[in-house]
């Protein structure tokens, strides 16, 4: 797996790159936002926010505009508003400095599994036929979504969330079950992550009523889902 590390502090980047290389990853290290935007993002991006030329949130947004590879933000900022904003911009996960190397690797592996579900164990009987949700079409085989025939750009996590809800249309899914299935049963981040992704999905799919909030429980798709004729 190819990893793009965006970190301007050599005292952090050098041992990080060395450690990840020992884990078998192929690393590219850049120290500025401009270099990050010009580099091949590879299969995953580890993005520091405190860059010397561009704000990390700007870099995150611009990277997400041109690639769907997972982005894990590594930040010294602990304010939750920053973290929520980053998730809205398309980051898949975040770590607050200081962090343990084993924790980082575990996060990377979890994000990689969620972003490429076909490469690991999963439901074996689920059909990959395209399905329709009102004006929305979801194609699991290509991981593409359209609204009224117009392609919509979703982050890997947004797609996984929509796909999970679509597997049992109309059924209420608890917040805990969604976090466990779409994120990870050992997820230790804020549960506001789920709310952020739901809000983003509603906005991108141009239908605020498509995903219904069940107060105190969780979410469900408000209409039935049917397989599209092929």
pLDDT tens-digit readout, 98-109: 778 888 888 888
Segment 42-67 mean pLDDT: 91
Q: Give residue 226's pLDDT.
A: 44
Q: Determine if the peptide bond prior to 138 is cis (ω within 30°).
A: no
pLDDT tens-digit readout, 144-188: 899 988 999 988 888 889 988 887 777 788 888 888 778 765 554
* CATH top-level class of 131-227: mainly alpha
CB atoms within 10 A of CB 24: 7
Yes or no: domain 2-115 corresponds to CATH 3.40.50.2300:
yes
| Contacts of 90 by beta carbon, 8 Å cutoff, 6+ apart | 60, 61, 63, 64, 71, 155
Domain ranges of the chain: 2-115, 131-227
Whether 81 shows a pLDDT value over 80: the answer reads no
Calculate the average pLDDT of the chain.
Answer: 81
Asked if residues 173 and 164 have their Cβ atoms less than 8 Å apart, the reply is yes
136 band by pLDDT with thresholds 50, 70 and 90: confident
pLDDT tens-digit readout, 201-223: 999 998 878 899 988 888 988 76
pLDDT tens-digit readout, 14-34: 999 988 988 889 999 999 999
Q: Give residue 225's pLDDT.
A: 42
Greater pLDDT, 223 or 142: 142
Q: What is the rounded CA–CA span in Å between residue 15 and residue 9?
A: 11
80 band by pLDDT with thresholds 50, 70 and 90: low
Least confident of 40-44, 80-84, 204-208: 80-84
The pTM of the full predicted model, rounded to 2 decimals, is 0.57
């Amino acid at each position: 797996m190819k990893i793009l590390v965006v970190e301007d502090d050599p005292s952090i980047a050098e041992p990080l790159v060395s450690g990840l290389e020992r884990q078998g990853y192929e690393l590219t290290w850049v120290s500025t936002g401009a270099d990050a935007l010009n580099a091949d993002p590879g299969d995953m991006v580890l993005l520091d926010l405190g860059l010397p030329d561009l704000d990390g949130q700007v870099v995150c947004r611009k990277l997400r505009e041109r690639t769907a590879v997972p982005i894990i933000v590594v930040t010294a900022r602990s304010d939750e508003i920053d973290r929520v904003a980053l998730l809205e911009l398309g980051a898949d996960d975040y770590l607050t400095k200081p962090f343990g190397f084993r924790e980082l690797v575990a996060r990377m592996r979890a994000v990689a599994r969620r972003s490429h579900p076909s490469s690991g164990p999963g439901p074996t009987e689920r059909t990959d036929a395209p399905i329709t949700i009102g004006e929305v079409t979801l194609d699991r085989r290509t991981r593409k979504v359209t609204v009224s025939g117009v392609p919509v750009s979703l982050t890997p996590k947004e797609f996984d969330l929509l796909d999970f809800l679509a597997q049992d249309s109309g059924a209420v899914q608890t917040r805990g079950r969604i976090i466990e299935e779409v994120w990870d049963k050992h997820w230790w981040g804020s549960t506001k992550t789920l709310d952020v992704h739901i809000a983003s999905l509603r906005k991108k799919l141009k239908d605020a009523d498509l995903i219904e909030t069940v107060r105190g429980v969780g979410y469900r798709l408000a209409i039935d889902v049917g397989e599209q004729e092929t």
